[in-house]
Structure 1
Amino acid sequence: MQWFSAENIVAVGTAVLGIVASGAMVWYERRVPRRKRVGYRVQMDNPIGDDVRSGRANRRLGLFDETPGMADATLVLLRIENDGSQGIDGGDYTGPEPHGLTAVFTDRTIRGVSVTQPTDADHLMDHFTAERGFGYEGNRLRIPRVPLNRGDHFKLLVLLSGGDVGSGIRLTGGIREGEVHPNRSATPDEQPPLFSRAARLISITLTLSVLTLAGIVIARDDHPLPLGCARGTLTVTGSTAFAPVVRELAQEYGKKCAGADITVDAHGSEAGVGELTALRPRSRHAPALIAFSDGATPRADAARDLTGSRIAVSAFTLVVNEDVDLGRGLSLAQVRRIYDGRITRWRQLDPRLPDLPVVLVSRTADSGTRQIFQRRVLGTWERVPSTSLDCVHRDDRSAPVTRCELGSTQEVLDRVAAIPGAIGYSELNLALGHRGLRRVSLDGAAASGEDIEYRRSGYPYRGVEYAYTYGRPPTGSLTARFLAYVGQSTGEDVIRAHGHLPCSAPAVAPLCADDDNT
């Protein structure tokens, strides 16, 4: 292990910074309390009546032998202090009474009171007059609206009778934008705590957390990543037709490269590229996002920062419900007549076909599979508008045929298999083995990756799979390493296993390089 590596230096520096931050917080807590606050605490509550015995001589003290009703007399020292960050003036007391605060002595009667040890005797003593509300009645002591600078305090020595030592004592009243609160009891000479319990707990927790983090970083076993690996997170979106390939590639890469978290969220070629485009204005750096697209996207011309990498040649196919046996397939001219609404029933093509209505099961406009179909097979867009939400009930009776649009290739295959007379299109490998379907040859040529690779037929419905990123991903990033992995031998094997042709293969490279002629 390299003790002086950049990561360890950062970790130790973070620990030191955390300790300094903790000390700064302690200083701030001590020097800059939070708001206007009046605190109070009982510093003495002692019996002084004639029923109190001296523990050493076991004799009566007899302070009030001649005073009726004072046998259970007690003496209380109450400290009232400004322990907030701001000064308090007379207008800050919010009670409706002329006086500012009220001290209540539960179960006891006030017999006398004296003001003692104010911070500034001349400044504070002038306020303790009857004209300003100072006085007592029963168990309630009225305290004037005494202005207190930050840190000022005064003490009240109160003589009481009745009740027991330790009976409840509370201070009532309010402070604008502040509070009146009890403080921890203390002896007359005891200093208040340097900072609050919350500050102490936060300081200790922060220090321990940072030190623990630094220890983990330094002590961990740093094994170098295998060549070609990178850690981090990456999202792959876009083509639903190519999604099975990408999912397996992500799984294989994750097995090889620990710490790589790759999420595949496919919802259409154009939708995926649109998501990549929309992320850019909100990010100062290229987002960790790859959008796969069936064919080149027009967005690449509009967003100059998009970089497309050719990944594979994909074969697509038309599929029909198994009730429609087209034998040798369809010509391109027949396909175009079907998709512009001139063929409404299958028997119009051949009297031997079942007399079923044609149902067009299409993809949404965001689909790269649809865009390649329109460009390579129809030579135009699908002219029949969408007339149904469920592919069964035609909402627009004026349209010549029923046509619906679905969000994924798998949905298209499932609906075509379920609806008699339905026709749709799909990536070839996804259609293989799907029950309830027949694949359709075009101009006598069947969809075959091998025939496309070795130019054995002029099968038209094929296209190049692109991987789009923003600019060129940084060298060493997970995005760059994953794209490089796709073009390596393991990636090629996965692509071929799903019926696609990897652009990294020498025989396929010319097809990928000249996308317009694929």
Structure 2
Amino acid sequence: MDWLTAENLIAVVTALLGVLVSTGAVWYERRVPHQRRVGYRVQLDTAIGNTAANGAPTGPGAVVRRGFFDASPDLSDATLVLLRIENDGALSITREHYTDGDDHGLTVEFGGRRHVKAVVVTAPDHPRLLSHFPDTWTGPAEGATSILLPKVPLNRGSHYKLLVLLAGGPIGSPVTVDGNIAEGHVHLNHSTTPDDKAPVFSRAARTVTVVLTVCVVALAAIIVREQEPPPIGCARGTLTVTGSTAFAPVVRELARKYEKDCEGATVVVEAHGSTAGIRALAEAGAKSAEGSPAVVALSDGRKPGGYPQLRESMVAVSLFTLVVHDGIPVDDLTLDEIRRVYRGEITNWSTLVPGLDQPVLLVSRDAGSGTREVFQRRVLGRNEPAHSSRDCEHADDPEAKVVRCELDSTEQVLATVARLPGAIGYTELRSGSGLKGLHRVAIDGRRPVLEELGESGYPYREIEFAYTWGEPPADSLTSSFLTYLNRGSGQDVVRTHGHLPCATPKGLRICGDG
């Protein structure tokens, strides 16, 4: 009986209880089929105008609440309603699961209130949900008594809210949401609040719960294994991520983590520049006969015009920086000095550093680079001078004012600036750390500091966009990886590489400002 140890006994008991629980769960799963469900509930219903305390119309002898909008006749009896709409079912909901036949998916009715004054979509579970509300969608027309909502795909647990300004009725009037869902339904749900009555467990249920918890805790104390759970919503297949070379280090690390967490998934990173990535996505989409191809293009800033089929989502705010060779004792340049250097008016560092006789060498990115496009738009205010050198050291054009070469990637720019005395270039912020032979340069005394984004006015920054061909299916690898990029550990990786995730409160504000 050597096997009869405390560890093995606890493991056997835990396993037996687990079998019983699993058997019960399987029985429940077979007995209760999975359904798609859209749940809704009113989280706020309050008067903001002159309204009787009991919700009845004002009149002689009524107790009246004094509202914020008493001076406006149209809003004297106004109310504010905050409505939460969510997927509280077991399955994801796509646009195709809304079966009303029109271009709207759900209808919100406000019984007893004459008309809707205004509506705002707010507090989405994920910023990408807002992209399903077209730019032309402004809610109902003036005087409408209902709201027609578009067909918004919702993963399990995803939600958004409507803040609605109403006029012409008392608070507490019924609010209903209707719509037809394939293999599912729309229903009124409830949240657990401190005022709700807690569920009552039977004595047997409490006993089983306590015993199972004690066994699990004891077994965990004996065998401690720290393991991060896999992310929710893993998908299988192969995904290609292309575009920005500046954001490529983030994507490569996330690809490794996703492949480790999600068995059966392969994420291939092919970074050749923002514009090249957009073109590759457009070509893949045009050739695809099965909807959205498994390709994501990342771009430093918005895509160029002429690609109406591409759908965008904001990923992060990226900081960029100028870098110079360590032999140039320059720590700060004004915008005017930078522009004079890139116009060819300053061709020797002696103009800025008296006594230093060293020609200026401009090491730039190719024309398809998003990093270069951001530099030209936000720092130079114009295009860079013409390409004049193939080796970045000697001018091929004797009439060129300054030696300037173009390279294919951020890594090539950094290596070349570190190798050539007098060289100056630009890079994404984190890529410049840990490299010898070069250093960052402040602009007008301001430095690229992630924590100071939005306050310092540092000019060389841009929003990183992710593009797909149309809207990928909610259960696709494309959708899953973008969710992984924008949540949880994905946000930590983005921060580690010197970017601010758009999905954070501060990032949401800065990304929204553009």
Distance 1:367 1:323 in 2: 27
TM-score w.r.t. structure 2 length? 0.54
1:381 aligns with 2:383: yes
Structure 2 equivalent of residue 155 of structure 1: none
Structure 1 equivalent of residue 84 of structure 2: none
Distance 2:231 2:392 in 1: 50
Structure 2 equivalent of residue 334 of structure 1: 337
Structure 2 equivalent of residue 251 of structure 1: 256
Is contact 1:319-1:437 (8 Å) kept?
yes
Structure 2 equivalent of residue 366 of structure 1: 368
Number of positions where the alignment pairs a residue of Structure 1 with one of Structure 2: 287
1:321 aligns with 2:321: no
After TM superposition, the structure 1 = structure 2 runs for residues 287-302 of structure 1, keeping only pairs within 5 Å, are 287-298=293-304, 301-302=305-306
After TM superposition, the structure 1 = structure 2 runs for residues 51-66 of structure 1, keeping only pairs within 5 Å, are none
Amino acid at match of 1:457: S
Structure 1 equivalent of residue 459 of structure 2: 460
Is contact 1:313-1:503 (8 Å) kept?
yes
Distance 2:358 2:463 in 1: 35
After TM superposition, the structure 1 = structure 2 runs for residues 363-512 of structure 1, keeping only pairs within 5 Å, are 363-382=365-384, 384-452=385-453, 455-512=454-511
Q: In the TM superposition, what is the alpha-carbon distance from 1:375 to its structure 2 partner? A: 0.7
Secondary structure at 1:286 match in 2: coil
Is contact 1:346-1:357 (8 Å) kept?
yes
Amino acid at match of 1:499: G
Distance 2:326 2:470 in 1: 46
Deviations 1:247-270 (A, max 9, x none): 111111111111111111111111
Secondary structure at 1:281 match in 2: helix
Q: In the TM superposition, what is the alpha-carbon distance from 1:229 to its structure 2 partner? A: 0.6
Secondary structure at 1:293 match in 2: strand
After TM superposition, the structure 1 = structure 2 runs for residues 95-494 of structure 1, keeping only pairs within 5 Å, are 227-284=232-289, 285-298=291-304, 301-327=305-331, 329-352=332-355, 354-382=356-384, 384-452=385-453, 455-494=454-493
Distance 2:512 2:499 in 1: 16
Deviations 1:11-37 (A, max 9, x none): xxxxxxxxxxxxxxxxxxxxxxxxxxx
Gaps of 5+ in 1: 4-224
Secondary structure at 1:302 match in 2: coil
Secondary structure at 2:483 match in 1: helix
Secondary structure at 2:396 match in 1: coil
Q: In the TM superposition, what is the alpha-carbon distance from 1:514 to its structure 2 partner? A: 2.1
Q: In the TM superposition, what is the alpha-carbon distance from 1:226 to its structure 2 partner? A: 6.3
Secondary structure at 1:261 match in 2: strand
Deviations 1:190-235 (A, max 9, x none): xxxxxxxxxxxxxxxxxxxxxxxxxxxxxxxxxxx96311111100
Moved over 3 A (4+): none
Q: In the TM superposition, what is the alpha-carbon distance from 1:283 to its structure 2 partner? A: 1.3
Distance 1:248 1:438 in 2: 25
Structure 1 pair 507/400, CA: closer, same or farther in 2 (3 Å)?
Answer: same
Secondary structure at 2:443 match in 1: coil
CA radius of gyration, larger in: 1
Is contact 1:325-1:438 (8 Å) kept?
no
Distance 2:323 2:502 in 1: 26
Q: In the TM superposition, what is the alpha-carbon distance from 1:308 to its structure 2 partner? A: 1.1
Deviations 1:146-189 (A, max 9, x none): xxxxxxxxxxxxxxxxxxxxxxxxxxxxxxxxxxxxxxxxxxxx
Q: In the TM superposition, what is the alpha-carbon distance from 1:323 to its structure 2 partner? A: 0.7
TM-score w.r.t. structure 1 length? 0.54
Distance 2:433 2:250 in 1: 15
Q: In the TM superposition, what is the alpha-carbon distance from 1:433 to its structure 2 partner? A: 2.0
Secondary structure at 2:296 match in 1: strand
Distance 1:396 1:253 in 2: 48
Distance 1:511 1:227 in 2: 28
Distance 2:293 2:455 in 1: 41
Structure 1 pair 316/482, CA: closer, same or farther in 2 (3 Å)?
Answer: same
Deviations 1:363-417 (A, max 9, x none): 00100000000111011111x2111111012110100111000000010000001
Is contact 1:241-1:427 (8 Å) kept?
yes
